[in-house]
Amino acid sequence: MRRFWLIILFSSGLLLLLCGFIYAAFFASIPYQQPTPKMAARDRDGWKLNFGNSYTGEDFQEWESACREIEAFALRVAVQVRDGLLGKDSAIRQISVRFPRLSRDRVGRTYSQAMYFSMHE
């Protein structure tokens, strides 16, 4: 009877290990995808709801351009942190000095996301 439970336990462990490898092979290695046009349109509609009727397509292009500039700068800083050329506090300070309109919380989130993407670059 004891041997039966050991075989069950060992088999369950092997099965769990095999399932983990299968999951990693199929799902964990999926790269980050760019949003589809439908998702991007949903973002524009969401911005329109947040900013009211004063929103125009030109406004969205301006905001999108500003967001891309912030993302690119934050990623460059994050790569320097990743490579050990810059400290975390100094990086956050650089982002907040370069983009003073960002709140402290938003700077922290931007830095965190940039660090994530710098690890996958």
Type of residue found at 101: R
Question: Three-state secondary structure along 62-114?
Answer: HHHHHHHHHHHHHHHHHHHHHCCCCCHHHHHHHHHHHCCCCCHHHHHHHHHHH
Rounded distance between C-alpha atoms, residue 45 and residue 40, angstroms: 9
Task: For the chain, give every domain's residue range.
Answer: 61-121
Per-residue pLDDT tens for 20-58? 888 877 776 666 666 666 666 666 666 666 666 666 667
Q: Are 87 and 120 in contact (CB under 8 A)?
A: no
Higher pLDDT, 101 or 33: 101
* Total Cβ atoms within 10 A of residue 117: 14
